[in-house]
């Protein structure tokens, strides 16, 4: 048997906390609107921290939590759409900073589903290529990619990083089932261009690359795709929806989480939320939420992790916690 277990968790957030009222002094919105339409009360914004710094801090905490030396890591994958550099990868910068000198490193882009995509890739490589220990990080500084005059997006996003260390096990398996998917027909519903410079022959206007989102259509996609994917993963794991103890969904909007609970006919209390504190931290949101809920998890608990977002992408994973 080749199983996978989770051996360490870490989290890092920027120091600066920004309230809804502060955002309301920038754009035509209100604390009341943001709270009732999204569940967000504040978010942490990286004023001085960079994406790879947040990623590194979360990695160091996950290493400490796992009692593993960085030298024992075989693989580092960072899921991000807001890397500081296109090259080197954020993963290489993290590996350098923590001393993971034997790890294969790369970044992965799947927006808010990025952590689940990166977990699936890491676990496949572990099973097929013999890697023993993999560090998977979701890290974002999307505040630097926002149009701070667009109230449709600037109220939603926050910055942060979360890290998970997976290890091969021949005795136990914590990852019971996983699926990732994409609906490319919705590819342009959330966009973040990356090209900031044109070549010397370009004479037009150069726009600063910022996030644009069709919130309503993404909302409709999320509330229909997420319950379907969760049911698919649960049935593959050969258990029932009522056997799931915790649902940890990407923290995009509190109303999306409530709608999924209603569609699955599961009490809302089983759906973990920390969106009020951090907003939507994209690829970081699931590992950050797992970190925040860990003290409430009991051995044997069945946990669903589910990400969804730009691409359009989704990814769902069923864990048995130990
Ligand atoms: N403050 C006040 N009013 C606002 C704001 C705001 N910040 N934003 C929009 N409005 C207004 C609109 O202009 C509109 O006014 P109108 O009716 O006069 O035209 C009204 O509020 C309703 O607008 P909607 O866009 O329908 O607002 P909605 O209730 O859908 O909430 C939101 C918008 C929060 C963006 C929601 O659609 C949402 O959460 N969508 C999903 C986002 C998501 O899941 N993203 C995926 C991950 S992101 C990633 O992958 C990187």
> What would the pLDDT profile of 177-208 be if each residue is shown by its tens digit?
999 999 999 999 999 998 767 788 888 888 88
Choose between 86 and 198: higher pLDDT.
86
Q: Which residue minimizes the CA distance to atom 23 of ligand 1?
A: 216
Tell me the average pLDDT of the chain: 96
Determine whether the shortest distance from the Cβ of 106 to ligand 1 is under 6 A.
no
User: What is the pLDDT confidence band of residue 127, given thresholds at 50, 70 and 90?
Assistant: very high
Interval between CA 153 and ligand 1 midpoint (Å): 8
Asked if 312 and 189 touch (Cβ cutoff 8 Å), the reply is yes
Asked if 140 and 115 touch (Cβ cutoff 8 Å), the reply is no
80-91 b/e (C-beta count within 10 Å ≥ 16 → b): bbbbbeeebbbb
Crossing angle between the packed helical segments 31-38 and 254-264, to the nearest 10 degrees? 20
Asked if 257 and 134 touch (Cβ cutoff 8 Å), the reply is no
Q: Which residue minimizes the CA distance to atom 32 of ligand 1?
A: 215
| pLDDT at 317 > cutoff 70 | yes
| Mean pLDDT on 91-97 | 98
Q: Which residue minimizes the CA distance to atom 13 of ligand 1?
A: 152
Interval between CA 261 and ligand 1 midpoint (Å): 20
Q: Which residue minimizes the CA distance to atom 20 of ligand 1?
A: 152
> Which 3 state secondary structure label does DSSP give 2?
coil
Q: In this structure, what token pair is assigned to residue 104?
A: 């294969």
Work out the number of other CB atoms within 10 angstroms of the CB of residue 282: 37
pTM of the model: 0.96
Query: In the prediction, which pLDDT does 159 show?
Result: 98
Beta bridge partners of 175: 319
| Mean pLDDT on 286-306 | 98
Determine whether the shortest distance from the Cβ of 309 to ligand 1 is under 6 A.
yes
Best of 158, 192, 215, 306 for a ligand 1 pocket test (most atoms within 8 Å of beta carbon):
215
Beta bridge partners of 280: 157
CA 149, CA 153: separation in Å to the nearest integer? 9
Active site residues: 112, 250, 280
Q: What is the CA radius of gyration of the chain?
A: 19
| Mean pLDDT on 275-283 | 98
């Amino acid at each position: 048997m080749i199983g996978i277990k989770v051996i360490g968790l870490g989290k890092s957030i920027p120091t600066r906390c920004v309230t809804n009222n502060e955002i309301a002094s920038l754009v035509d919105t209100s604390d009341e609107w943001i709270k009732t339409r999204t569940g967000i009360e504040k978010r942490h914004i990286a004023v001085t921290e960079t994406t790879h710094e947040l990623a590194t801090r979360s990695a160091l905490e996950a290493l400490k939590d796992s009692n593993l030396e960085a030298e024992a890591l075989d693989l580092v994958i960072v899921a991000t759409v807001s890397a500081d550099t296109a090259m080197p990868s954020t993963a290489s910068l993290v590996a350098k900073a923590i001393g993971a000198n034997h790890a294969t490193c790369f970044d992965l882009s799947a927006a808010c589903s990025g952590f689940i995509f990166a977990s699936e890739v890491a676990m496949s490589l572990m099973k097929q290529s013999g890697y023993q220990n993999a560090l998977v990080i979701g890290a974002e500084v999307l505040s630097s990619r926002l149009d701070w005059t667009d109230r449709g997006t600037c109220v939603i996003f926050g910055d942060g990083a979360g890290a998970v260390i997976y290890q091969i096990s021949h005795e136990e398996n914590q990852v019971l089932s996983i699926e990732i998917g994409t609906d490319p027909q919705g590819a342009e519903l959330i966009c973040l261009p990356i090209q900031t410079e044109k070549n010397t022959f370009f004479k037009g206007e150069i726009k600063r690359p910022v996030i644009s989102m069709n919130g309503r259509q993404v909302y409709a996609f999320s509330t229909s795709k997420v319950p379907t994917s969760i049911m698919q993963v649960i049935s593959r794991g050969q258990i029932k929806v009522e056997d799931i103890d915790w649902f940890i969904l990407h923290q995009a909007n509190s109303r999306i989480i409530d709608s999924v609970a209603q569609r699955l006919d599961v009490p809302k209390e089983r759906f973990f939320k920390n969106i009020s504190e951090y907003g939507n931290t994209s690829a970081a949101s699931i590992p950050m939420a797992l970190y925040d809920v860990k003290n409430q998890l009991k051995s044997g608990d069945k946990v669903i992790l589910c990400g969804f977002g730009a691409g359009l992408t989704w990814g769902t994973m069923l864990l048995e916690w130990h």
